[in-house]
Structure 1
Amino acid sequence: MKINQKLTAVIIDDERHAREFLNKIILRVFPDHFQKIVITDSVQNGVVLINECRPDIVFLDIDMPDENGFELFKKFNSVNFEVVFTTAHQNFIMEAVNTYGCLGYLMKPIDQDDLRVIIDRFENKMLQKQATVLTDNAVKGNEVLVEDANERSEIAKKNDLLFFSGQHEVNIVKISDIIYCRASDSYCEFYTMNKNFTVSKPLKEIEKIINDDIFFRVHRSYLVNMNYVSSYDKKLSVLKLLVHPQTGENKIPVADTGHKKIISEISS
């Protein structure tokens, strides 16, 4: 699960070859992750660039002649970016982690696998923040069903999660775990690998939110994840499921429009 936004980074290091090497390795390992990387040689210049660029991540050397990297934190009332310390000296680790807090600590010479761990950690942290915001909204009674269809689609695809507020709990469902959805008047029943529940939204709206090519509206009452289908009985117009969800069905009826859609998909 990856975030879709492109990132901005600032590299602060007094050694020219060190900052240029880090810039190159970032672009080589993550060619599509960053929209901008700017480099500089001091804390003072770094403050200027941070205020200009509003970076997501700052790669910060600690042992520098004019001001050490820790001085950067004194220049800001609040730190709205993640910090990755880059240094050749292990004796700074405890202070970096316990006193200042950081996303990670990269020892020079920087290894690309260590860098990959840091960026993955950053992306997971951002996804957790997004999930927390969505969950908080749901707890307040605002189901995460955004009005704009495109925005709904982006939320679903970015997180592979949907959040639905019930009377006593918030249901969080992973889209890929949904076996099928069934319409029930103005409600919709979800059948997943782990649990089943009902939300107060019609199936047509759920279909727009999920907006995934693998889900087929095979019947006015059924939206099916085709990854969980074992076969299609053309004579009986029935989809047979690989799994049998609790209190659910293992055979799904297919309407004429659904039949045409399935046959068209098979033929393409």
Structure 2
Amino acid sequence: MRLGHLAPGAPPVDIYLAAFGRAEQVVVRKAGYGAVTPYSALRAGAYTVAMRPADAAPTSPPALTATVDITAATAHSLLVFATGPGGSLRGDLVTDDLGAPEPGTGRVRVVQGTAALAPVTVEVGGTSTPLVVDASYGMTTPYRDLPQGRHDVVLSGSTGRAPTQVDVRAGTSTTLLVTESDGALKSTPLTDSAGPEVKPLLGVETGAGGMSTVDSPVWLLAVLSLLAAAGAGAALRFRTRARG
């Protein structure tokens, strides 16, 4: 599983993870908007996630705790958007396709992570059909096969167009992450699968109550501002969507 924070405008947090009933360990420090962790391999089972303000003492009360269930032999991205009621947070657990595409092609999908510049259209040079047209904030598209090679891509949003390029290698799966930076569209290609023989894993659960530490920015941080606004009774809801 990997984790992505796609809700702008919140302070950084440190994120802790523990196998259910075991001691927690910090896995992410100073999470920020637009960041997505590498994949981490977890043993199947229940895990507790806790968040504290960045650099807070590990013994301090967490701003939020949640429990997630991990299923064996699956790959997922937990993406957090500010798309709940009244702009509150909502987590989408999306399935990442690590299977082999057609020979000579790679799979590409779009995750639309900008609210201010939505809707967003993503066009690929040399193809008659865009990857997505007028994608709303929080949308994850299905994968689409593209021929191997470097493709010219144009992002179009409410403030104009942003040209970029995406390298597609045969046998791979890629997520094109769309975010906002200084009022402009930004795209970041994320490798979902580097090929059928390559496992996209980073930290491995030790079985002794901890995880390998992953000091890279990531996901749920906007929860802090949500909790501050909504009070101590606020809760984070995870919703799994079926993606066609």
Q: For this structure pair, what is the TM-score category when the shorter chain's length is used for normalisation?
A: under 0.3
TM-score calculated relative to the size of structure 2: 0.25
- In proportion to residue count, which structure has more helix? 1
Q: Which has the larger radius of gyration?
A: 1
TM-score calculated relative to the size of structure 1: 0.23
- In proportion to residue count, which structure has more strand? 2
